[in-house]
Amino acid sequence: MPGPLSGIRIVELAGLGPCPFAAMVLADMGADVVTVVRAESVIGGGPPRPSMELTNRGKRSVGVNLKVPQGVEVVLKMIESADALVEGFRPGVAERLGVGPQVCLERNSQLIYGRMTGWGQDGPYATMAGHDINYIALAGALHAIGRKGDNPVPPLNLIGDFGGGGMLLAFGVVCGVLEASRSGKGQVVDAAMVDGSALLTTMIHSMMAIGFWEDQKGVNLLDGAAHFYDTYETSDGKWISIGSIEKQFYAQLLELTGLEATELPSQMDRSNWPVLKERLGEIFKSKTRAQWCEIMDGTDVCFAPVLSMSEAPQHPHNVHRKTFVEIEGIAQPAPAPRFSRTPGEVSRPPAMAGQDTDAVLRDFGFSKEDVAELHETGAVA
């Protein structure tokens, strides 16, 4: 069966990080995503081969020169039959290229125009350069991540670029397309990574409001301060994770570590967390990671081994769930979430830049003669 977004057509103006990820998620769910890349990035010669840029999986690629009027017209004609366009330029760049929201919505009044930026389309920081680390810093998320007394720790670029950025852009586009199907009117989706990163901290703000969270890192329930919610090194230099928050899960933790019969202070007495963490640390370092898996797998301790990215695809649970797939010899995360009737899938490996130019243009209504002329003028590649 086709994916849940089958029949939805999306034009992506190629960029970096969160915007390609958002378009990948939509392609995984069955949308027809066409990525418009710069004509000068197209390398000719030889048979097409899969790209290593995994966020371009499931998409087709068209090489267009947006510096010439004919190239701009190609994109505008494409969006006439598209449901959405997504772009990740700095504010004002798309307008200067001639493909901003006003002109696009004039061509297609039902178009959803998705915009991905770090700071948003307006505000004092809007024109500044930035990266994930900066956006999550301004959102208040980075300050909360790390050990007490240490520097804040960048959590890769997962929160700003992909969680607060790309995932919310994809959500916004789907919301917009759904609403346009009822109203017949398009609109602009302003997805800013600083906004999305702040949104992801909503639960922590509620915990602060009731006095259950201190506004500093490394002293709270979920930031590694608690002995029952942290990672521990094992005797073979590997790591395990423990998340025994609830009383019944904590009781199992004490039972399986041999601390059940020991007189211990209250679980939630924060003054004793460092001492209890030291005791657990000694216990966990007495066995290998595999031995702890044998003891704790299948229990309600809230336990899992800390796997590397190369180990994760091999774990029995991930194998059973098909959490990872292998395409053209490259292991990668499978589409998510799961649908019982219209499952998502990776329909094709990532295309090389401009690999599908001619075929896509014909799909969008350009004649064979039109395509030949566009090649001659250098408008496409």
Query: Which residues are designated catalytic?
Result: 131, 161
Check if the beta carbon of residue 92 is closer than 8 Å to that of residue 128: no
For tokens 């998705």, name the residue: 114
Helix (H) or strand (E) holding 250: helix 247-257
Q: Residue 86's closest CA among 23, 129, 16, 132?
A: 23
One-letter amino acid for residue 180 of the chain: A
Residue 183 CB burial class (10 angstroms; 0-12, 13-18, ≥19): exposed
DSSP labels, 110-121: T-EEEEEESS-S
User: Using omega within 30 degrees of 0 as the cis cutoff, is the peptide bond preceding 337 cis?
Assistant: yes
For tokens 């701009």, name the residue: 72
Check if the beta carbon of residue 29 is closer than 8 Å to that of residue 7: no
233 vs 117: CA distance, rounded Å: 39
137 vs 205: CA distance, rounded Å: 15
